[in-house]
């Protein structure tokens, strides 16, 4: 395949028919099921993981079960797709990443990883795979990310993946009882095509 030619995108209905499992060098990106609730709970029970997130730190496994169910419903409704990030060696869930679909050509990317696995390149690996899938299979034109200004790890990760900073949306987010300014970054298909 020529480096700039992309396979034809599937129709949106075809994309959402079966959950699309992806495999990278070290990871399996797969649907999370209710049996993953203990692992998901562990991730979201860590204040360092939820610090810059629009979710509360989990205090009960029920919250993890609810989150897994909610992800499945949003996939069925074609509103979002959230992959569980599993280690290849034991299929254990160590994080998640995915898209909230904004419209036919735009989606917002989101992600989190268990603290034990930070700074090993795992999220770069996972996001590279879902970005390629998003442009090639979902036929996205624009992937955007909204990040709290203090979240240096997330901003560094996005910039490494060639996302461009567009500015600050003032008091755009509301969670944990207050408004938050959010940095907006984006990656366009035409820019992505230039570095693959």
109 binds ligand COA (CB under 6 A): no
Residue 149, SS3? coil
Nearest residue (CB) to ligand COA, 41 versus 122: 122
In this structure, what token pair is assigned to residue 121?
A: 């390149």
Task: Give every strand in the sheet of 178-188, ordered side by side.
Answer: 22-23, 27-30, 80-87, 93-103, 106-113, 142-148, 178-188, 164-175
Q: Which of 67, 85, 131, 147 binds ligand COA (CB under 6 A)?
A: 147
Over its C-alpha atoms, the chain yields an Rg (Å, rounded) of 16
Nearest residue (CB) to ligand COA, 46 versus 139: 46
Strand partners, 183: 147, 168
Q: Which of 19, 45, 53, 106 binds ligand COA (CB under 6 A)?
A: 53
The region of 14-22, 73-81, 116-124, 187-195 touching ligand COA under the rule CB under 6 A is 116-124
154 binds ligand COA (CB under 6 A): yes
Q: How far is the CB of 92 from ligand COA (least distance, A)?
A: 16
């Amino acid at each position: 395949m020529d480096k700039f030619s992309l396979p034809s995108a599937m129709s949106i209905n075809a994309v959402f028919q079966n959950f699309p499992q992806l495999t990278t060098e070290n990871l399996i990106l797969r649907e999370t099921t209710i049996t993953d609730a203990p692992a998901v709970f562990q991730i979201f029970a860590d204040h360092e993981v939820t610090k810059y997130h629009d979710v509360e730190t989990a205090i009960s496994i029920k919250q993890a079960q609810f989150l897994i169910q909610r992800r499945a419903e949003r996939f069925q409704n074609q509103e979002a797709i959230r992959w569980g990030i599993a280690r290849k060696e034991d299929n254990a869930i160590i994080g998640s990443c995915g898209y909230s679909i904004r419209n036919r050509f735009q989606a917002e990317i989101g992600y989190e990883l268990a603290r034990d696995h930070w700074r090993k390149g795992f999220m770069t690996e996972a996001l590279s795979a879902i970005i390629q899938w998003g442009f090639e299979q979902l036929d996205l034109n624009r992937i955007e990310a909204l990040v709290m200004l203090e979240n240096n790890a997330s901003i560094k990760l996005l910039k490494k993946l060639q996302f461009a900073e567009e500015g600050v949306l003032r008091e755009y987010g509301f969670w944990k009882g207050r408004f938050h300014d959010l940095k907006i970054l984006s990656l366009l298909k035409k820019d992505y095509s230039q570095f693959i």
